[in-house]
Chains A and B, each alone.
Chain A
Amino acid sequence: MYPVTIDMDETLAAEHLYTFIGAPKGTVNVCAMPDQEAGVVLKVWIAPGFPIEKIPSSFEGFEVKIEFRPRFKAGANA
């Protein structure tokens, strides 16, 4: 499995998780996000079709949540 580190800075943990997942560029993003229940969670944004079995349920002491990536749009009608 992967190493567990307590008091890990959550942004660093997000970067570690991104590396751990090892997805092709552009298919996954990881964000350390505030969460009402857990305090901070590592959100893994995935592109449709990405195999979620590659993603752990917790990492370096943080709960991991998987979501489809939001659709970011730029422009006056975004």
Chain B
Amino acid sequence: MSNNHVSGACNYAPANLPIVAPGILDVSPVNPPPFTIGYHSRQLDMNLGDPTVVDTGRNQDAAIFKLAMPQFVSSMQHNFYDTPASALPLAAGMVVEKVGRSSGHTQGRVISAVTGPLDVAYSAPQYNFSGIAYFERMFLVHGLNDRFSEGGDSGSLVVHTDANGVKHAVGIVVAGADDSSAPGGKLSLIMPIQPILTSLGVTLVSGHN
């Protein structure tokens, strides 16, 4: 699973489009050659347009793809921790962490829920597309010592460790904004994972390879 704007090309990826890893932006002589990690399956509603005239209430920036060779993929978040099998609702005050493509393993704190539809700017230049999508029930995260996320971290799983030391998935990274008051100058926008899992009808896989 990832963001629609990562593996679903903002609704423009046709079904069964190959998803490669490393991603196209990371193809370079210093990285491993790209291989097909999976095939785009489907995405949740992400209706573009103004929320006064377009139904944006169900918008979620999430998509799933079918793994090409599950036996060669691990559920580990790099080598930091395994993907939790359980999920919790996001809440202000939670300490969270994630492992991302750009900023790696970082920790942060959920500083607030956002009330009201919030606009996020998207672009998929390979499809000559750019646009604004509005989302409700989003959350804001500040990094604990530096930025929590940066461009290219979208789709990272956000995890919370409870009082018993058990990790739970709580969200995915969607977007960011400049914020001079935030550590690292970045404010991260997180989407709760529970409604995404419910809408997609999927569960998290833990302990795989």
Binding site for B on A (CB under 8 A): 10-11, 14-15, 17-18, 23-26, 28-34, 43, 69-78
Contacts and interface: CB of A to CB of B under 8 A. Distances in A.
Contacts of B102: 76
Interface of A is mostly: mixed
Contact of A25 (B61, B117, B121, B152): B117
A78 B177 CA distance: 8
**8 nearest A-B residue pairs (beta carbon):** A70-B177, A25-B51, A78-B151, A31-B112, A74-B175, A29-B116, A18-B115, A26-B51
A28 B116 contact: yes
A75 B134 contact: no
A78 B16 CA distance: 27
B121 A30 contact: no
Nearest to B4: A74
B25 to A, nearest CB: 5
Contact of A74 (B112, B113, B114, B120): B120
Given A15-B115, A26-B116, A78-B175, 20 more contacts: A11-B112, A14-B112, A14-B115, A25-B50, A25-B52, A26-B52, A26-B134, A29-B116, A30-B115, A31-B111, A31-B114, A70-B179, A71-B178, A72-B118, A72-B189, A73-B176, A74-B61, A74-B121, A74-B154, A76-B102
B92 A11 contact: yes
Contact of A26 (B115, B119, B154, B177): B119
Contact of A75 (B52, B117, B151): B151
A30 B121 CA distance: 19
Given A25-B52, A25-B117, A72 B176 contact: yes
B157 interface: no
A71 B152 contact: no
B63 interface: no
Contact of B112 (A25, A32, A77): A32
